[in-house]
Amino acid sequence: KAGVTQTPRYLIKTRGQQVTLSCSPISGHRSVSWYQQTPGQGLQFLFEYFSETQRNKGNFPGRFSGRQFSNSRSEMNVSTLELGDSALYLCASSPWDRGTDTQYFGPGTRLTVL
Amino acid sequence: EDKVVQSPLSLVVHEGDTVTLNCSYEVTNFRSLLWYKQEKKAPTFLFMLTSSGIEKKSGRLSSILDKKELFSILNITATQTGDSAVYLCAGINSGGSNYKLTFGKGTLLTVNP
């Protein structure tokens, strides 16, 4: 089975721009979560989608948004980028609805905001 | 707000040593605790713990959960340089339709030859 894939792997943007990141979960997984990882804050939960519905959102400003499509692929969008948004963005998929909580992470998108 | 605290934050040992990493949690509607290993890439899954007192084991790694005292430990015996990584634990809040992981800051383990 193919793992979680994320595109692009690296991205450089300037302040004020917006960015869209994509995540394709493991086949059959309907839960997709997004995380931001920085050296200072560690892994922080952004949001989780299940069957195209956002079930949970972390403590991030409204500039961070996401969506999930009917094939379970997910995108997250960050508008009006700030320097502090530079981070590794990880997505993880889970077969949560099949009785296991294990989350499988993708390789991440490294976002640099200049 | 859910909280997961790991200790120590960093640890340096010699090959062959045994280490114990700690994870305490305060998670509403606690469902499971996950352990991950992260090298210079995405976290890789180690263990999922749901029941108290049942040890999970994989090779030289083992982990156990105490739901009464709200903590978990990860043991690594006969450490090798390849065990050098950040070890993360996460608590899962799963009440109703909720499903949210809260990660600790991680323990940076360095194993010297």
- A58–B100 C-beta distance less than 8 A: yes
Per-block mean pLDDT, blocks of 10 residues, chain A (114 long): 91 97 94 92 90 90 96 96 96 79 91 97
**HSE of A68, CA atoms in CB hemisphere, 13 A:** 23
In order of A18, A113, B6, B83, the CA distances from A94 in angstroms are 28, 30, 24, 25
Which residues of chain B have a CB within 8 Å of the CB of A55? 97-99
pLDDT, residue A98, reads 61
- Which of A111, A103, A100, A99 shows the shortest CA–CA distance to A38? A111
Q: Which of B45, B50, B101 sits opposite A33 (nearest CB)?
A: B101
**Which residue's structure tokens are 């084991």?**
B57
Q: What's the CA gap between A107 and B3, in Å, rounded?
A: 25
Nearest 5°: phi and psi at A52?
Answer: 70, 5
Would you say B18 and B8 are in contact if contact means Cβ atoms under 8 Å apart?
Answer: no
Digit-coded pLDDT (tens) for B46-76: 999 998 888 999 999 999 999 899 999 999 9
Per-block mean pLDDT, blocks of 10 residues, chain B (113 long): 94 97 94 92 91 90 94 97 96 78 94 96
- B103–A35 C-beta distance less than 8 A: yes
Q: Is A60 on the interface with B (CB under 8 A)?
A: no
Would you say B83 and A40 are in contact if contact means Cβ atoms under 8 Å apart?
Answer: no
pLDDT, residue B94, reads 81
pLDDT, residue B96, reads 67
Most A-contacting residue of B33, B72, B101, B103 (CB-CB within 10 A), to test interface = B101
Which residues of chain B have a CB within 8 Å of the CB of A96? 99
Would you say A19 and A81 are in contact if contact means Cβ atoms under 8 Å apart?
Answer: yes
In order of A18, A82, B58, the CA distances from B48 in angstroms are 36, 36, 12
- Which of A77, A72, A60, A66 shows the shortest CA–CA distance to A11? A77
**Which residue's structure tokens are 């721009």?**
A17
DSSP B68: T
Q: Is B3 on the interface with A (CB under 8 A)?
A: no
pLDDT, residue B97, reads 65
Give me the helices (H) in chain B, please: none
Nearest 5°: phi and psi at A6?
Answer: -130, 140
Cβ-Cβ contacts under 8 Å between A and B: the total is 56
Q: Is B42 on the interface with A (CB under 8 A)?
A: yes
Q: Is A25 on the interface with B (CB under 8 A)?
A: no
The helix (H) or strand (E) run that includes residue B74 is strand B71-76
pLDDT, residue B77, reads 97
